[in-house]
Structure 1
């Protein structure tokens, strides 16, 4: 699919290049005059040593800290849990599991009203309590029938609480919560781990009607503990698919290609170098354009590299995903006509690229 996107965009841009030859004004007054003739939602900026810092906007690739609160985990018994109650030295009160009897069958299941039945004392409240709290309550009630009862209560089967893990994991599943805290990493591991197409930076936890973004890669590589939160009952974990972040290099360059921006910030000069630079016998060094779709419309950045020192300016211009870099050919006149002919193609390239990642 990525090859199809690149092939389609290359064909469109080469076709656009044949529409007209252009001239690139290098004087500020000329740039302003040409811009006035173009659509109002297109901004053309000539990159210079004086203004480059205003447009040098590297992406923040460092891991962000999750805002999801974790807190200490303290398991509370819920409806459906099965309790194993032992009263020492009183085997008549202990229904041990054995031949033909599972732990669940031998234990006390918490009913819909949040209680379970126990001999002598009747219904014992359990929902929302820790096993220790249930033990203390049961011990006090049994004391009316047994001198100084020694009681132990534990959860034999955890049924009341769980989390779901979906998306790009090998085995999407529902996982029970127990008295051992279940962290995000533990839950993903229990679901078979990440698939080859998973993006560990694109994990979402749905909790209480709100979605929280979690960058798991920041925990794995930078040790940001907040990005491995303890999960709570009802959490839904969704692992997103890896979306390759690319810029497109087209026109009169040695090797028209795409540049992967997923893992690093790459400058305009770096990108041109990686594809072999300009095609010297065809390219007009004054016409290095970067088309960028921004909130207020498309911005076209022009780098005039007729003076090689301009490439130093290019080292301070960081590319963004979906940028389209186009190098024009000579001879040229009226550069704004070429930009106008290419603009619809920029939209096609961006749309095709978006479809390829769905």
Structure 2
């Protein structure tokens, strides 16, 4: 071999080595490697805690949204469809068992009081009976109260109470209902699920439907599915309630060596890591490193303390959870680990993928170098 050819071979070898080293760090890829993620941990003076998922970690992080109705909402009794309310107009007929009654005209046995309006405080005024609370009572209950009051003034009075005008109790159903509108609280629709059914059900997938009830200044939310599985959440309605049905907007992102990379909304109330991967077609068999499935999350202080076993943490912490699907319990851990709103699930590439990509890039460059060497007389 000539001296010139030997020199050319050395140049090509050095160029190959330099190109291979450079290619390992500069070639396009889907994200950081497993080694690089660990290098950014707190143990290596990074800003995130890297934690391997096990049974204890899965339990400590399985925190679901705190949804449901309070005791104040659940403890409210069902109201009657004929309950009197402020603003209603009542008609009264009072029969007296005497010829010269308190309220009747001479020769008449009954007194007709055409219109008595319930004032804003829920009260009415009846001559000789005084001010009486009407709101909250049914016409029958109010009849008994008036009879008792008048019985002290005239013997054996007979009273008839009717509601002449007034809309009664109503609720508003808005959002993802089958038919939005204002609905009366009637005997068949005195509970939340019955009213939703009367409004045409829900027009969004029921698995991710959220139901918010606003009562006065308070609003509380529950999953529609929980209303059926937990009868205590099927609360009694009150006049003026607003029922707002909306779709669950929680979402997570899946990146890296998976079937597809996408931002996904929750399809059920609870999604585990294994289900999240299944939604994007699982791991890419030609690219993925099954020992390097990561979940990136900003963890609240209380959960971070429980996971890390530390009491010196202040505020939310960046945690990176590691799932190794090749371990004996790896698939079980992935099945038990609950994904939360805002999580990023990232699957690293296998080391051989980066190597193959680098070699392919180098040999492509080497062909160009060889051609250039031939052009200048290097064989």
Task: Give the Cα separation in 2 of the matches to 1:309 and 1:145.
Answer: 84
Instruction: Report the equivalent of 1:54.
Output: 57
How far apart, in 1, do the equivalents of 2:31 and 2:180 lie? 54
**1:92 Cα deviation after fit:** 6.5
Q: TM-score, normalised by structure 2?
A: 0.59
Query: Which structure is larger by alpha-carbon Rg, 1 or 2?
Result: 2
Show the counterpart of 2:22.
Answer: none
Ranked by relative contact order (alpha carbons within 8 Å, sequence separation 6 or more), the top structure is 1
Task: Tell me if structure 2 keeps the 8 A contact 1:80–1:110.
Answer: yes
Distance across 2 between alignment mates of 1:145 and 1:187: 45
Deviation at 1:242, TM superposition (A): 0.7
Corresponding residue SS for 2:163: strand
Conserved? CA contact 1:80–1:160, under 8 Å: no
CA drift at 1:325: 1.9
1:209 alignment partner in structure 2 = 217
Alignment of 1:229-248 (within 5 A): 229-234=235-240, 236-248=241-253
Q: Is 1:43–2:52 an aligned residue pair?
A: no
Q: Find the aligned partners of 1:179 and 1:313 in 2 and give their Cα distance.
A: 49
Q: Deviations over 1:251-271 (max 9, x none)?
A: 222344566644254443444
In 1, distance between residues paired with 2:327 and 2:57? 21
From 239, 243, 253, the counterpart of 2:258: 253
Offset of 1:134 from its aligned partner?
3.7
What pairs with 1:1-358 in structure 2 (closer than 5 Å)?
18=29, 22=33, 24=35, 31=38, 35-40=42-47, 42-47=48-53, 51-56=54-59, 57-58=61-62, 60=64, 64=68, 66-67=70-71, 68=73, 69-71=75-77, 73=79, 77-87=84-94, 93-94=111-112, 107-110=115-118, 114-115=123-124, 125-128=132-135, 130=137, 131-136=139-144, 138-139=146-147, 148-159=156-167, 162-175=170-183, 182-196=190-204, 202-220=210-228, 222=229, 224-234=230-240, 236-257=241-262, 261-263=266-268, 265-273=270-278, 275-295=280-300, 296-305=316-325, 310-331=330-351
Query: How far, CA to CA, are the matches of 1:137 and 1:324 in structure 2?
Result: 65
Q: Deviations over 1:131-159 (max 9, x none)?
A: 34542454467779986443221323334
Asked whether the 8 Å contact 2:129–2:150 carries over to 1, the reply is no
Query: 1:277 and 1:115 mapped to 2: Cα distance?
Result: 70
> Which runs of 5 or more residues in structure 2 are unaligned?
1-25, 97-107, 301-315, 354-379
Q: Following TM superposition, by how much is the alpha carbon of 1:212 offset from its aligned partner in structure 2, in angstroms?
A: 3.2
Unaligned runs of 5+ in 1: 1-14, 96-105, 334-358
Could you report, residue by residue, the CA deviation over 1:286-327 in whole angstroms, capped at 9, with x for unpaired residues? 332222232323321223456676445433433333322222
Greater fraction helix = 2
Q: CA deviation at 1:189?
A: 4.3
For each residue in 1:38-88, what CA deviation from the matched residue of structure 2 results, as whole angstroms up to 9, or x when unmatched?
A: 543x221234xxx44323444559985642221353676444212233456
User: TM-score, with normalisation over the residues of structure 1?
Assistant: 0.61
